[in-house]
Amino acid sequence: MTEKMRRHFLKAKDAEALLDMASEKLKIGLKELFKTRANVEVVQTEFAEIYLINNKPVLAKVGEKVFPTLIFDEFLASAPRVRVDMGAIPHVCNGANVMAPGIRRFEGDFREGDFVLIVDDRHGKSLALGEAVYDADKAKKTTHGVVVENVHYVGDKVWNFLKKV
Strands 146-153 and 98-99: antiparallel
The pLDDT, as a whole number, for residue 1 is: 45
Domains of the chain, with CATH numbers?
6-71 (3.10.450.120), 75-159 (2.30.130.10)
Closest CA to 22 of 65, 60, 66, 53: 66
CA distance 102 to 85: 6
Q: pLDDT tens, position by position, for the chain (165 residues)? A: 456 789 999 998 999 999 999 999 998 888 888 877 789 999 999 999 999 998 999 999 999 999 999 999 999 999 999 999 999 999 999 999 999 999 999 999 999 999 999 999 999 999 999 999 999 999 999 999 999 999 999 999 999 999 887
* Helix, strand, coil tally for the chain in percent (to 5): 30, 35, 40
**Extended beta strands in 39-92, E state:** 40-44, 49-53, 56-62, 65-68, 81-84
